[in-house]
Structure 1
Amino acid sequence: MNRYAKDFPILDQEVNGNPLVYLDSSATSQKPIQVIEAVESYYKEINSNVHRGVHTLGSKATDAYEGAREKVRRFIHADSTREIVFTRGTTTALNLVASSYARSKLTEGDEILISPSEHHSNLIPWQQAAKATGAALKYFDLEPDGTLNLEKAKVAITKQTKVVAIAQVSNVLGTVFPIKELAEVVHAQGGVIVVDGAQSAPHMKVDVRDLDCDFFAFSAHKMMGPTGIGVLYGKESLLEAMEPIEFGGEMIDTVDLYESNWKELPWKFEGGTPIIAGAVGLGAAIDYLEAVGMEEVDAHDRRLAAYALERLDELEGVTIYGPRENRTGLVTFNIDTVHPHDVATVLDADGIAVRAGHHCCQPLMRWLDVTATARASFYLYNDEADVDRLVQGLQKTKEYFGNVFR
């Protein structure tokens, strides 16, 4: 067990009589004790609503909530906390942009450009925005290894391209897309770029000012934080011009019988009682990651992915998807004649947790010409021994199904 694994209580258990090997962090990461204790401490010591009461607990809760916002600002290098909106997760954040920004800006003749590798949460909102506005939804062409050719992308991005929406890292292929270079091209044509950072923010340093992205969305639960909270970063000028899509308490300034107006940024987008404990937990997760160093996290995850590719290449009949270079800490694969669900079931019997299915990327599955894949994804608490266990489990799977089909 590596030096970080001891901080994650859930890993100290057996599953089906075997030590747990958790290789599904791209779906949701495990939580260190520091995050668990921070959330527990909030509920035990300062549980109260925020921004409303003048009593002591209310003030402490507000300080903790807004303190977490400042940690997020620093973590992604935003200019101001006014640019940091707390949401329920990446999906909600992307829907906010598609519903508020895009639907008010797009008209017939405009184009939305995305990639076929997008997670459904960065695909369906744009389908709906296109239907609502008459804009055309178009797709980048991917190279055979799942990468993006920047020269071809420059041709695809035109004056009609008002929105480019793309993940910084594919949750299936592990591809790292050239966001900074794309942003430069998009802005030259007068458009905006919306980045799904669900798979990048947990694993690499993110600097939204350097990337020059207009919007950036990510979730706490994929970066060692609680479920149910995420972040939308938006450039202040863009957020200022956008209308809220949820209305009620907390996001208002004044309310009359027939008219109301909204609080200033970022609170106008945070209607209702916010996810206070989640924000506290996210802040603790950021503290943990920054103590390790995002450069170390990135190097660790890439190292494990490279080792996994090397080990999987030793197995006959295994197809690996995505690029061999410049990829993050996951490997997606299939075994000839064995359904991914069967692969995952056999591995689970040995205490190894992987993901199997379409990974909320059905168009990408069709692009790969498969119905589903298996995916092993790594994080700071994994090491080479976990990869070795995976390979042993896959060898066992091959032998089992080889005997079945003889």
Structure 2
Amino acid sequence: MNAKEIRELFPVLNQEVNGHPLVYLDSAATSQKPKQVIDVIEDYYKRYNSNVHRGVHTLGTLATDGYEGAREKIRSFIGAKSTEEIVFTRGTTTAINLVASSYGRANLGPGDEIVITPMEHHSNIIPWQQVAKATGATLKYIPLTADGRIELTDVEQTITDKTKIVAVMQVSNVLGSVNPVKEIAEIAHRHGAVILVDGAQSSPHMKVDVQDLDCDFFAFSGHKMCAPTGIGALYGKKSLLEKMEPVEFGGEMIDFVGDYESTWKELPWKFEGGTPIIAGAIGLGAAIDFLEDIGLDRIEEHEKAIANYALQRLDEVDGVDVYGPRERAGLVTFNCHDVHPHDVATVLDSEGVAVRAGHHCAQPLMRWLDVTATARASFYLYNTEEDVDAFVEALLKAKEYFGHVFR
């Protein structure tokens, strides 16, 4: 199945926007959903909508089987040892906050260090800022190379025996940099630190094996990988999760509730208070089936080829600055000389081309780049070279429109 055939499986892509065929280049923000996933969610609501774990009736059993079956699919998808290590969350942000609030606050104190990078998404910066304020720990940044990569020599110089937590994204949502998280994990562990990997931009696009990476925590979102919004997962090594306290309390996560003291369920349910996002979890399981049927290696190869083609086409356009290393994941972030990226994105939208414009939840990185905002075209398994051509043609029209400043 090629990209054009895959595209036909996504109903939202088969439409016109502003009189032009839709060219969707914003999958780093959220991916579109294939019919297979939409049908599975619809089937849940039509046929066996029920709460999980609580009832013994048929619908409740079907819902529980679907929900826990999705957990097993996630375990296999990222190579975890056990479903006990898979906690359902609302997404990457919630997963990182869970680790920061539970593990971070319990294991950090004055003099300890938290190490991150300037390219992190706000979701992997602000929780650690708050933990540092609450515990007296110090927040440190691994420096970047001039083209936005991480060098292991800089990692070695930044992580010390005082470092207790390292938190780093596997793929940058702005630069497209693919970070050496396996090697960073080895350095972190050598100094007695744990490492959390933000996999929001990697798990949809490449094969991830948390045991091979030897990361202690791995967080990702479903909505960037063909699943519904509002669902994601946290992987954590069992030995760490067992020692961590829940951060949400109520139904589902309890074992025994006394008048003044309560006890929690075993892993992973002690972290899943309240009625969970059942349809979302089942939809995430269907999305994993869909992606694995196509093959993550094929998806990664296809996206890199599209990104390389986009870089070649952008080289032909004067007055465009592209940020990040030449070797990258499937996105290009750029600016047009003296034209605000929101204006560029508006013109592109008038041609049916959807790109992102703004700071991409990465304001520290924008300051590092010495810009206030950028535009971003991000690719997925349903994008083609024809999409890139339409994007560049629309960009040339923007150049003509802003000709008095675009140079």
Category of TM-score, reference length = shorter chain: over 0.9
Deviations 1:25-68 (A, max 9, x none): 00000000000000000001110000000101001100000000
Correspondence for 1:376: 377
CA distance in structure 2 between the aligned counterparts of 1:179 and 1:70, rounded to whole angstroms: 24
CA distance in structure 2 between the aligned counterparts of 1:372 and 1:404, rounded to whole angstroms: 17
CA distance in structure 1 between the aligned counterparts of 2:126 and 2:153, rounded to whole angstroms: 27
- The residue matched to 2:230 in structure 1 has which SS? coil
Change (3 A) 1:360 1:6: same
In the alignment, does 2:100 pair up with 1:85? no
CA distance in structure 2 between the aligned counterparts of 1:293 and 1:362, rounded to whole angstroms: 34
Correspondence for 1:98: 100
Structure 2 contact 399–406 (Cα < 8 Å) conserved? no
Instruction: Report the CA distance between 1:405 and its aligned residue.
Output: 8.0
CA distance in structure 2 between the aligned counterparts of 1:358 and 1:156, rounded to whole angstroms: 26
CA distance in structure 2 between the aligned counterparts of 1:25 and 1:189, rounded to whole angstroms: 37
CA distance in structure 2 between the aligned counterparts of 1:251 and 1:11, rounded to whole angstroms: 40
Find 1:109's aligned residue among 90, 108, 111: 111
Correspondence for 1:401: 402
**Please, which runs of 5 or more residues in structure 2 have no aligned partner?**
none
CA distance in structure 1 between the aligned counterparts of 2:101 and 2:141, rounded to whole angstroms: 20
Deviations 1:131-187 (A, max 9, x none): 000000010100010000101211111100100000000000000000000000100
Question: What is the identity, as a one-letter code, of the residue corresponding to 1:387?
Answer: V
Correspondence for 2:317: 315
- The residue matched to 2:195 in structure 1 has which SS? strand
- The residue matched to 2:65 in structure 1 has which SS? helix
CA distance in structure 2 between the aligned counterparts of 1:51 and 1:302, rounded to whole angstroms: 42
Question: What is the identity, as a one-letter code, of the residue corresponding to 2:109?
Answer: T
1:385-400 aligned at under 5 Å gives the runs 385-400=386-401
Question: What is the identity, as a one-letter code, of the residue corresponding to 2:93?
Answer: T
CA distance in structure 2 between the aligned counterparts of 1:234 and 1:51, rounded to whole angstroms: 22
What is the count of residue pairs matched by the alignment? 405
In the alignment, does 2:196 pair up with 1:190? no
Question: What is the identity, as a one-letter code, of the residue corresponding to 1:237?
Answer: S
Find 1:209's aligned residue among 211, 217, 232: 211
In the alignment, does 2:207 pair up with 1:236? no
In the alignment, does 2:353 pair up with 1:352? yes
Find 1:35's aligned residue among 17, 22, 37: 37
CA distance in structure 2 between the aligned counterparts of 1:196 and 1:186, rounded to whole angstroms: 15
Correspondence for 1:20: 22
Correspondence for 2:178: 176
RMSD of the TM alignment (CA)? 0.9
Question: What is the identity, as a one-letter code, of the residue corresponding to 1:127?
Answer: Q
Correspondence for 2:130: 128
Structure 2 contact 115–167 (Cα < 8 Å) conserved? yes
**Please, which runs of 5 or more residues in structure 1 have no aligned partner?**
none
Question: What is the identity, as a one-letter code, of the residue corresponding to 1:365?
Answer: M
Correspondence for 1:337: 338
Question: What is the identity, as a one-letter code, of the residue corresponding to 1:4?
Answer: I
- The residue matched to 1:99 in structure 2 has which SS? helix
Instruction: Report the CA distance between 1:342 and its aligned residue.
Output: 0.3
Correspondence for 2:365: 364
Correspondence for 1:295: 297
Find 1:44's aligned residue among 39, 43, 46: 46
CA distance in structure 1 between the aligned counterparts of 2:316 and 2:307, rounded to whole angstroms: 15
CA distance in structure 2 between the aligned counterparts of 1:261 and 1:301, rounded to whole angstroms: 47
Deviations 1:303-343 (A, max 9, x none): 10111001001000100000001x11000000001100000
Question: What is the identity, as a one-letter code, of the residue corresponding to 1:392?
Answer: E
Question: What is the identity, as a one-letter code, of the residue corresponding to 2:382?
Answer: Y
Deviations 1:57-107 (A, max 9, x none): 001100000000000000000000000000001000000000000100001
Q: Percent identity?
A: 71
Flag as ranges the 4+ runs of structure 1 deviating above 6 A.
Answer: none
Question: What is the identity, as a one-letter code, of the residue corresponding to 1:168?
Answer: Q
Question: What is the identity, as a one-letter code, of the residue corresponding to 1:289?
Answer: L
Correspondence for 1:141: 143
CA distance in structure 2 between the aligned counterparts of 1:200 and 1:269, rounded to whole angstroms: 24
- The residue matched to 1:113 in structure 2 has which SS? strand
What is the TM-score when the length of structure 1 is the normalising length? Answer: 0.99
Question: What is the identity, as a one-letter code, of the residue corresponding to 2:326?
Answer: R
Instruction: Report the CA distance between 1:3 and its aligned residue.
Output: 1.5
CA distance in structure 1 between the aligned counterparts of 2:269 and 2:406, rounded to whole angstroms: 60
Instruction: Report the CA distance between 1:404 and its aligned residue.
Output: 7.2
CA distance in structure 2 between the aligned counterparts of 1:56 and 1:96, rounded to whole angstroms: 33
Question: What is the identity, as a one-letter code, of the residue corresponding to 1:15?
Answer: V
